[in-house]
């Protein structure tokens, strides 16, 4: 049987993956969601012509020579931030003003209080102030729309609503925003050998690690984990678990997709027109099932080997979760970086290798070290904890040598890697 190229399998997944409908939520409830559509400013930023300093709002003509010839002005008003007042200023008059307060229409310049004889910021306003330095005309004045005018694009559709994004939207006059909800995901680990973590293990049994693995990866990708279940290698048990997963946008199975006599995923979906099994030209992660369930949920059947499940999640499931959320294209298909191999390693013949790796900056260059000392094997789950990315080796390469430049994908936002040199 010929193997399916990774790109073809991913294209199949993304072609079947919709974008979830948007809904309007208060900004405070939008954190972590994707903004559905481009959002434009309803008001300018800044909204008012306001002061950048605590000090005095003056007419520049009055203070143009204050540096050599200090000038005393009458203080006719006191303007804290939020004050609605617009006092008229005649020549020789000024207003005390705090940072953020709107400038009087007659003022064009701010003198910070350090450049006056009224140095005590907590003192009551006085009848006069002496200006000791001559500021430039317009000093410390924040003009309306300095940052953005009405109608300017604040954020594009697909943007992740971070604190900075929500603060920009609020400043641009919005109280709500249309976002796409978190995809609802059910995780079902198949395998009669599985025991809940920490449970007693008789001969042949192993702790279920995939449930935690996949649930954690789903959450990190912005998904909401509805349920996590372990089921034995019994088709009827899997059918029942699938029925309980109704209402999910995505159902992720692990195990039971290869050639084994007891592989329940194979058995349940053998005659399905909506779920297809593929042998993908990758290592690990060769056996894959993908399709849709009767309710419309996407179904991923990932191989049970933990490293295979981890790789399969990053290569196929994460892009789908990103697309459901309406993420921008670069987040659906993550950018590939270039890294230098920090050591030699072997790669399998005929399949693209996805090697869990520790990516690090060494003298400004991104380097990749396999996390498993024994090389790439799909059961090496312990060392997976150290991976912050993976290296991708084309099928035709059979050995990587220290110093070779390889493709690498950084997982998440590892701040320690952001200064990487671009490799040739
Ligand atoms: N005759 C063949 N055998 C296998 C083939 C093949 O082509 N022909 N492919 C191999 C490859 S490649 C992979 S990958 C695995 C995939 O197997 P399954 O998806 O059917 O997974 P299982 O057989 O159920 O389990 C594989 C392995 O992973 C362990 N496992 C399963 N679930 C969990 C879990 N929740 N937590 C921790 N560990 C888990 C399981 O005990 C097995 O060791 O098939 C190869 N075989
Ligand atoms: O394709 Mo499997 O995932 O190599 O072990």
The CATH number linked to 86 is 2.170.190.11
The separation between the first and the last C-alpha atoms of the chain, rounded to the nearest angstrom, is: 37
Q: Is 286 in the pocket of ligand 1 (CB under 6 A)?
A: yes
Q: What is the pLDDT of residue 379?
A: 81
Q: Domain containing 240: what range?
A: 6-20+182-332
Q: Is 303 in the pocket of ligand 2 (CB under 6 A)?
A: yes
- Tell me whether residue 211 is in a domain: yes
Its pTM stands at 0.92
Examine the domain organization and report whether 254 and 327 are in the same domain: yes
Examine the domain organization and report whether 285 and 387 are in the same domain: no
Which of the listed residues 154, 180, 206 is the one where a domain comes to its end? 180
Examine the domain organization and report whether 272 and 218 are in the same domain: yes
Examine the domain organization and report whether 271 and 307 are in the same domain: yes
Centre of ligand 2 to C-alpha 283, Å, is: 5
Examine the domain organization and report whether 250 and 367 are in the same domain: no
How distant is the alpha carbon of residue 109 from its chain centre?
Answer: 42
- ipTM, two decimals, is 0.98
Q: Is 210 in the pocket of ligand 2 (CB under 6 A)?
A: no
Binned average pLDDT, 10 residues per bin, the chain of 424 residues: 93 98 98 97 98 98 97 98 98 98 98 96 94 97 98 97 98 98 98 95 96 97 97 96 97 90 89 96 96 97 97 98 96 94 93 96 95 77 91 95 96 63 46
The H or E element spanning position 112 is strand 109-112
Among the bound ligands, name the one nearest to the CA of residue 303.
Answer: 1
DSSP per-residue string spanning 173-205: T-SEEEEEPPPEEEEEEE-TTEE-TT----TT-
- Tell me whether residue 424 is in a domain: no
Ligand 2 probe mutation, 288, 308, 313, most atoms within 8 A of CB = 308
Q: Is 284 in the pocket of ligand 2 (CB under 6 A)?
A: yes
Give 324's contacts (C-beta < 8 A, 6+ positions apart).
17, 18, 19, 20, 180, 183, 249, 250
- Tell me whether residue 160 is in a domain: yes
Residue 35 phi, psi (nearest 5): -65, 130
- Tell me whether residue 82 is in a domain: yes
Examine the domain organization and report whether 174 and 39 are in the same domain: yes
Tell me how far apart the alpha carbons of residues 157 and 281 are, in angstroms, rounded to a whole number.
Answer: 34
Q: What is the pLDDT of residue 374?
A: 66
How distant is the alpha carbon of residue 377 from its chain centre?
Answer: 30
| CATH code (residue 35) | 3.90.105.10
CA separation, residue 235 to residues 191, 266, 336 (Å): 11, 9, 39
Examine the domain organization and report whether 29 and 15 are in the same domain: no
Examine the domain organization and report whether 206 and 313 are in the same domain: yes
- Tell me whether residue 216 is in a domain: yes
Q: Is 312 in the pocket of ligand 1 (CB under 6 A)?
A: no
Tell me how far apart the alpha carbons of residues 354 and 357 are, in angstroms, rounded to a whole number.
Answer: 9
- Tell me whether residue 1 is in a domain: no
Domain count for the chain: 4
- Tell me whether residue 274 is in a domain: yes
Q: What is the pLDDT of residue 422?
A: 46
Closest of 291, 312, 287, 336 to residue 13, by C-alpha: 291
């Amino acid at each position: 049987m010929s193997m399916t190229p990774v790109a073809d399998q991913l294209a199949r997944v993304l072609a079947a993956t919709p974008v979830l409908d948007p809904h309007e939520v208060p900004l405070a409830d939008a954190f972590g969601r994707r903004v559905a559509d481009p959002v434009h400013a309803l008001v300018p930023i800044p909204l008012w012509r306001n002061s950048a300093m605590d000090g005095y709002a003056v007419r520049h003509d009055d203070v143009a020579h204050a540096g050599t010839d200090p000038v005393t002005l009458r203080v006719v008003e006191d303007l804290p931030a939020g004050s609605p007042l617009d006092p008229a200023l005649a020549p020789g008059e000024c207003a005390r003003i705090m940072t953020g307060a709107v400038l009087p229409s007659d003022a064009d310049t701010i003198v910070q209080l350090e450049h006056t004889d009224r140095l005590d910021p907590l003192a009551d306003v006085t009848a006069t102030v002496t200006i000791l330095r001559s500021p430039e005309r317009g000093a410390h004045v924040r003009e309306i729309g300095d940052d953005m005018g009405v109608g300017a694009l604040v954020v594009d559709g697909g943007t992740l609503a971070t604190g900075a994004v929500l603060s920009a939207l609020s400043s641009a006059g919005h109280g709500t925003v249309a976002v796409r909800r978190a995809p609802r995901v059910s995780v079902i680990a198949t395998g009669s050998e599985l025991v809940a973590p920490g449970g007693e293990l008789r001969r042949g049994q192993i702790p279920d690690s995939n449930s935690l693995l996949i649930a954690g990866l789903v959450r990190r990708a912005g998904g909401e984990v509805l349920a996590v279940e372990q089921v034995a290698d019994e088709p009827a048990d899997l059918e029942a678990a699938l029925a309980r997963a109704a209402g999910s946008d995505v159902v992720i199975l692990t195990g039971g997709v290869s050639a084994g006599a007891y592989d329940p995923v194979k058995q349940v979906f053998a005659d399905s027109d909506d779920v297809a099994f593929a042998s993908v030209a990758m290592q690990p992660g060769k056996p894959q099932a993908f399709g849709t369930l009767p309710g419309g949920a996407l179904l991923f059947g990932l191989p049970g080997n933990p490293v295979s499940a981890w790789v399969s999640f990053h290569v196929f499931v994460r892009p789908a979760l990103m697309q459901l959320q309406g993420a921008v294209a670069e987040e659906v298909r993550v950018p590939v970086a270039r890294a230098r191999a920090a050591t030699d390693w072997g790669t399998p013949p005929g399949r693209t290798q996805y090697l869990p790796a520790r990516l690090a900056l060494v003298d400004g260059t991104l380097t990749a070290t396999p996390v498993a000392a024994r090389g790439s094997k799909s059961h090496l789950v312990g060392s997976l904890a150290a991976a912050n990315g993976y290296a991708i080796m084309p099928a035709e390469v059979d050995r990587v040598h220290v110093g070779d430049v390889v493709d690498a994908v950084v997982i998440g936002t590892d701040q320690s890697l952001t200064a990487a040199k671009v490799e040739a």
